[in-house]
Amino acid sequence: MPGTQHERRPPARTPRWKATCSIATRTQPHTASTGRRRSYVTHLIEDGWDPRFVQEQVGHEHASTTAIYTCVSSDFRTRTLRRHLDATVAAPLQPQPGRES
């Protein structure tokens, strides 16, 4: 029955629909979710959350997988390194109870 709703001719939008379903387009949602995951992990780490907690939040079995999604700023890296170096240097300089100086 040509000209009715039961006609078996592909609609005019089929080429556009095929382009929408292409491999390149199908990977875009994954890329978007990866960006959100990176932002989430990075913000949690930079806000001081325990790395083990962050790992469990995103469902990773290994910390190395979580590290892939962590993109902290160079300022955060510098502050963290400085804090740990200062603590490492200060610890031996502290007077210890029971020892005479």
* Model confidence band, residue 71 (pLDDT cutoffs 50, 70, 90): confident
Closest by CA to 47, choosing from 81, 85, 87, 76, is: 76
Query: How confident is the model over 22-60, as pLDDT tens digits?
Result: 444 444 445 567 778 888 888 888 888 999 999 998 899
pLDDT number for residue 82: 95
Q: Is the pTM of this model over 0.85?
A: no
Query: How confident is the model over 81-95, as pLDDT tens digits?
Result: 999 999 999 888 888
pLDDT number for residue 68: 86
Of 15-19, 51-55, 69-73, where does mean pLDDT reach its minimum?
Answer: 15-19
pLDDT number for residue 27: 46
Round to the nearest angstrom and report the end-to-end CA distance of the chain. Answer: 103
For residue 55, count other CB atoms closer than 10 A to its CB: 19
Burial grade of 89 (CB within 10 A; 0-12, 13-18, 19 or more): exposed
HEC string for 22-77: CHHHHHHHHHHHHHHHHHHHHHHHHCCCCHHHHHHHCCCCCHHHHHHCCCCCHHHH
